[in-house]
Amino acid sequence: MKILSTGSAVPERIVVNQELSEFLDTSDQWIRERTGIEQRRIHEGNLEILAARAAQNALEAGGVSADQLDLILCSNVHSRYLTPSMSSVVQGLIGASCPCLDINGACAGFVYALEIAAAHVHSGRYRRVLVLCAEEPTRMVDWHDRSTCVLFGDAAAAAVVIPDGEMPLFKMGTVSNGQAIYAYHGPGNCPYEKSDRRETPLVMKGQEVYKFAVQSSQEDIQYLCRQAGIGLEQVDFFLLHQANARIVEAVRSHLRQPPEKFPSNIRLYGNTSSAGLPLLLDEVNRQGKLQPGAVLVLSAFGAGLTTGACLMKW
């Protein structure tokens, strides 16, 4: 499996920390020091438009036309649609005609989708798979809750996957925990509803998730390097889910690797859920930092609690 090309799209609207402190009991200093975030992008329209831009961007970069796609896999937690899937909506917008499937792997969704894409191209079933992540966590949080809303931003990013090169190594995991990060749908008006269920914005036990993320990410990275029979020093870049700069720093320091191997853009975008990893990958790729044969390790973690890590040669 090979990632032929990458693409991304972020909303135009930039919201800096200072703006949040105008209506929340927070400060630029607290957000920077505790998270590394300085600003985030918040989309003002419909997510599918952003998603289609990211998809087109990746297709253009790879010289692939939409009608050549065999499958669109989209990682999405929240959009204005409960149904149809985001991938189906985007398929129409970009003019593709292939099968479409959405997955919800929260912040680890890109690695989950990549693993499914890898299995499909490896089996020979599909030759061109678009892996798309489109996320709007800003529509899930309670904007009165300073412990969550300051963390998130919106984005979409994509990768075109083709059969070529070596099969990456994957390490996927889920440790069921419905209390550490969750959001509930409302009950609708079903007359048979007997529970006290009601719509609940995103709730997160920040410190619990923090500890889980640091532990699982460093373990997954070490596991993959052992499986590949390489030392950590042979990895060119570690791309971690951009949830908190302190999480990335804790993993980096535990692994004793230099900061230049851990690219980061959380400062500019905040936590964009599953879109964060492909957004960072696209940035590094477009900066020309990924030489053919470069060894990359991706690692992500999120609600579920899900984890996904991947070791690949570029």
Q: Where in 192-231 is the site for ligand ACO (CB under 6 A)?
A: 206-207, 209-210, 213
Where are the strands (E) in the chain, listed by range? 2-9, 14-16, 39-41, 71-75, 100-103, 129-135, 155-162, 169-177, 181-184, 200-204, 237-240, 295-302, 304-313
For residue 83, report the phi and psi dihedrals to the nearest 5 degrees.
-155, 145
Q: Which of positions 227-266 make contact with ligand ACO (CB under 6 A)?
A: 243-244, 247
CB of 2 or CB of 139, closer to ligand ACO: 139
Q: How far apart are CA 77 and CA 145, in angstroms?
A: 20
Interacting residues with ligand ACO between 88 and 147 (CB under 6 A): 106-107, 137, 146-147
CB 141 within 8 A of CB 134: no
For 72, list phi and psi in degrees, rounded to 5. Answer: -115, 125
The stretch near ligand ACO (CB under 6 A) out of 29-37, 43-51, 65-73, 111-119 is: 29-37
Q: How many residues does the chain have?
A: 314
Question: In the complex, what is the shortest distance from the CB of residue 190 to ligand ACO, in angstroms, rounded to a whole number?
Answer: 27
Q: Pick the binder of ligand ACO from 134, 303, 309, 311 (CB under 6 A).
A: 303
Tokens of 236: 């060119």
Least distance to ligand ACO, CB of residue 210, Å: 4
Q: Does 39 bind ligand ACO (CB under 6 A)?
A: no
What angle is formed at CA 168 by the lines to CA 118 and CA 76, rounded to 5 degrees? 50
**How near is the Cβ of 40 to ligand ACO at its closest, in Å?**
13
* Residue number of the CB atom closest to ligand ACO: 206
Residues labelled catalytic: 107, 241, 271
Please select the residue that binds ligand ACO; options are 35, 56, 138, 217, rule is CB under 6 A: 35
**3-class DSSP state of 236:** coil
In the complex, the residues that contact ligand ACO under the rule CB under 6 A are 26, 30-31, 34-35, 106-107, 137, 146-147, 150, 181, 206-207, 209-210, 213, 243-244, 247, 271, 273, 302-303
